[in-house]
Each structure stands twice: as C-alpha cells, then as structure tokens.
A and B are shown apart, each in its own frame.
Chain A
Amino acid sequence: MSIETAIRSYLLTQSALTTTASTRISVQTRDQGQSLPAVVIHLIDEQHGHYLTAANTWGMARLQIDSLATTYPNAESIDVLVRNELEGMGGTTIGTSSTYVTSVIHDDRRMLPYANPKDASDVGIYGISSDYFVQFALAVSAIST
C-alpha cells in the first residue's frame, strides 16, 4: 500500500474528521457531483534512502492534502481537523498493509484558488491546502551482489 493510500485509510478511521467529511476522503481526484466538504490527498514527491549496499527501508513523502468546502470557514475547519489527526503522528502502524509511519510534520498551508460556480445550479468551492512531510518504513529488498 502506498503512503498516500495508507494515510487515506487512516483518516477514514478518524471519527472527528469523518463526522464532517464522511467517506469523502480520496486520493488525487474527487468524484463528479460529490457533495462537500471533502478531502483530496496528492502525492507531491516521495524519496527513498540508500546505504552503500542496500536500500535503507526509509521513505520520505510530501503529501498535499486539500480541504474543500462550500464556505471558507468550513474549509478552514476541515483543514484543522485533518491537521489535528496527522501532525505529530508517529511511531504507529496504519493502513491495511501495515505501513509504519515514523513521523508526520505539517510543513505549510495555503489558500487554493476559489472555484467559481459554473451556473446558478452549481456552487463555488473554497479550499485550503496543507503540505505534510511523512517519514515511513518501506519494504524493500537488499541490492543483489
């Protein structure tokens, strides 16, 4: 299981977040016509460490997590809920494939461009985007010699 799907699996088990966002926590895309608020997880970058003779089983990923809502205060609220569940998490195993997360660090936060409604039946979307630096254990093989 990738780190982005493991984080999604973890957030889906956090009732403080799912009380508001329900199961509208996805990776990369959001279903068309899906109601709000919602959370979308993007993998920005993932790096793996190496020794001179093998991979060191340590991964470092930057995740961008967008909190989307029909009002700005609601977007802020979802962003805070996500941050409360992630920042400072570490030394724990998450996800169905038991990914061991060493640490999660909230790195930065920014406002997403407002998505204007397409017509009178549509709604505008406010968004807050936060980046998280996630360190986790990888399952890799030693380099063949």
Chain B
Amino acid sequence: MPVTPGHRTTVAVTTSGSTTLVAFAQVTSITPAGPTRNDIETTHLGSDAREFIGTLNDGGELTFTIEYDPAAASHVEAITQINSTANQTLASQSKTFRVVTAATTGTENFNFSGYIKGFVPGELTVDGLFTAEITAKVSGLITRTYTT
C-alpha cells in the first residue's frame, strides 16, 4: 500500500513582490495546516435532536521548524515578512505557501494563501542548535494536487 513518508517533504513561500516559490532551507519538521469548521446550532422547537450546520472552513495554521542559518535567504525572508510594518493590506500580507510531500507513488502539493504570523526561536543550549518555529496562517481554502 502506498504511503507518504515525512522524509523529503518541503515547504516554500513566495517572497515580497514575486510569484516565485522559494523553498525553506534546513527544515527539520513540518506540521501541515488542518482545516476545521465551527458549529452553529440550528435546533428549534420542532427538532427531534440537536441540529447543527458548519461555518466556513478555517484553514488553520502551518508550522515548521528550521535549523536557523542567518545566511539562508529563506530564513531572512521569514524574518522580513514577520517584521514587515509597511502597507498592512490584505494584498501585501498575502503570500502563497506550498507543502510538497513525496509519496511512494507520486507527489502531493498543498497550496494556500496566507501570511507568516510567527517566528519563534527555540532555546539555545550548550549541546543544541539555534532552531526556530515558523507559523503561517491560512487565508482561504487549501488546494491539493496529486501527481503520480
């Protein structure tokens, strides 16, 4: 049965003023975004049981951990995006993100628009590395394409 190992998964983002996706360097783990819905209760006096409908899909958040390299363009870009205070408009904030997994029988792309909302360094220890957790908020739907 085909499976999708975590090994060789990549995550990329478009940079400011560009539509070109740039893969993040030195990524050690990725938690892809997971859509969820909230519940709106529609129970009325004639209901036999509680009734609900779902709200709009909330794409959730993508988080991934990097081994930080101050010379890596993708790491510098993430810091630039989280620190940007210029033109806080929807257009300037929105970037395209893509997570690509390598299944045993093909590749799968998860694409969404969103923005970087967190760049949190990990604890620096005597026998560890400088790592950081990057969080991206999904805006809109996550689209999936699978290529065999």
Residues of A whose CB lies within 8 Å of any CB of B are 49-53, 56, 58, 60, 103, 105, 133, 135, 143, 145
User: Which of B9, B29, B127 has most A Cβ within 10 Å?
Assistant: B127
On whether the beta carbons of B26 and A105 are closer than 8 Å, the reply is: no
Chain B, residues 15-57, CB within 8 Å of chain A (1/0): the string is 0000000000011111000000000000000000000000000
Partner of B27, one of A52, A60, A105, A135: A52
Interface of A is mostly: strand
Q: Roughly how many angstroms separate A143 CA and B127 CA in the complex, as a whole number?
A: 25
User: Does B127 contact A51, Cβ atoms closer than 8 Å?
Assistant: no
11 chain-A/chain-B pairs, Cβ below 8 angstroms: A49-B67, A50-B28, A51-B27, A52-B8, A52-B9, A53-B7, A53-B27, A56-B28, A135-B127, A143-B8, A145-B102
Q: Check if B129 sits within 8 Å of A51, measured CB to CB.
A: no
Is the pair A51, B6 in contact by a Cβ cutoff of 8 Å?
no
Chain A residues whose C-beta falls within 8 Å of the C-beta of B9 in the assembled complex: 52-53
Whether a CB of chain A sits under 8 angstroms from the CB of B1 is: no
**Are B6 and A105 in touch, CB under 8 angstroms?**
no
* Residue B126 at the chain A interface, CB threshold 8 Å: yes
Kindly list chain A residues whose C-beta atoms are within 8 Å of the C-beta of B29: 52
CB-nearest residue of chain B to A60: B127
Determine if A52 and B10 form an interchain contact, defined as CB atoms under 8 angstroms apart: yes
The answer to whether A56 touches B26, judged by C-beta atoms less than 8 angstroms apart, is yes
Number of interface residues of B (CB under 8 A): 15
CB-CB under 8 A from A52, the residues of chain B are 6-10, 27-30
Q: Which residues of B contact A51 (CB under 8 A)?
A: 26-28, 67
Contact residues in A for B102 (Cβ distance below 8 Å)? 145
Contact surface of B with A, Cβ cutoff 8 Å? 6-10, 26-30, 67, 102, 126-127, 129
A145 near B129: Cβ-Cβ < 8 Å = no
CB nearest neighbor in B for A144: B8
User: For the complex, what is the distance from the CA of A57 to the CA of B6, rounded to whole Å?
Assistant: 20
CA distance A105 to B67 in the complex (A): 21
**C-alpha spacing A143/B8, complex, angstroms:** 9
B64 to A, closest residue via Cβ: A52
Question: What is the distance, in angstroms, from B130's C-beta to the closest C-beta of chain A?
Answer: 11
Nearest residue, chain A, Cβ from B127: A133
B127/A145 in contact, CB under 8 A: no
Q: Closest approach, in angstroms, between the C-beta of B46 and any C-beta of chain A?
A: 54
Bound Cα distance from A53 to B66, whole angstroms: 12
List 17 extra interface pairs beyond A51-B26, A52-B6, A143-B8, CB under 8 A: A49-B129, A51-B28, A52-B7, A52-B8, A52-B9, A52-B10, A52-B27, A52-B28, A52-B29, A52-B30, A53-B9, A53-B10, A58-B129, A105-B126, A133-B127, A135-B127, A145-B102
Chain A: which residue is nearest B25 at the CB level? A51
